[in-house]
Amino acid sequence: MIRLVAQPFEPGAELTGFCAGRSRTGAVASFVGIARGEAGRATALELQAYPGFTEIEIGRVAAAAASRFGLDDVLVIHRHGVIAPGESIVMVATASAHRREAFEACDYLMDYLKSRAPFWKKEHGPDGARWVEPTARDLDDLARWE
């Protein structure tokens, strides 16, 4: 399931729902990304997306992860709009028969979301706004899956 949301979400409740009723699954791995305040340099993070297109692209990569890692299920929730420091930005949960595949798939999806997902990120702060691009480390993390 892929969800693009404008409002805050509760990761604990989402994870509880994702885990409910699983009798085949032996492992669930999850990751929650939280907006940082960057020591006062960031007062908000703004993520722009094209609803419809963005979900389709994330869904395409989630399907590839499910196939590559033999997943039972995938959940991706990603915020868009203005996000305050301390709020959740993204949640990925993966379910599989074994832990290694669940962990690796979660990592794989986050590397994609951080560097290639169709979002445009702007950080707002006391000195104005600036566009945020993937770092060299983000791109290196993504490259290890190729």
Task: List, in sequence order, every beta strand (DSSP E) within the chain.
Answer: 2-5, 27-34, 44-49, 73-79, 81-83, 88-96, 119-125, 128-132
Within 10 angstroms of residue 137's Cβ, the number of other Cβ atoms is 10
Going along the chain from its start, the domains and CATH numbers come out as 2-143 (3.90.1170.40)
Instruction: State the pLDDT at residue 146.
Output: 86
**Mean pLDDT across 87-112:** 97
Q: In what order do the strands lie in the sheet with 81-83?
A: 81-83, 44-49, 119-125, 128-132
Q: What is the pLDDT of residues 55-94, one digit of tens each?
A: 999 999 999 999 999 999 999 999 999 999 999 999 999 9
Q: What is the pLDDT of residues 5-54, one digit of tens each?
A: 999 999 999 999 999 999 889 999 999 999 987 756 789 999 999 989 99
CA angle in degrees (0–180, nearest 5) for 72-57-63: 20
pLDDT at 109 over 70: yes
> What distance in Å separates the CA atoms of residue 16 and residue 12, rounded to the nearest whole number?
6
Q: 48 forms bridges with which residues in the sheet?
A: 120
Closest CA to 44 of 10, 77, 4, 86: 86
Decide: pTM greater than 0.75: yes
Instruction: State the pLDDT at residue 66.
Output: 98
Q: 127 falls in which pLDDT band (50, 70, 90)?
A: confident
Phi, psi of 80 (to 5 degrees): -140, 165
Instruction: State the pLDDT at residue 54.
Output: 95
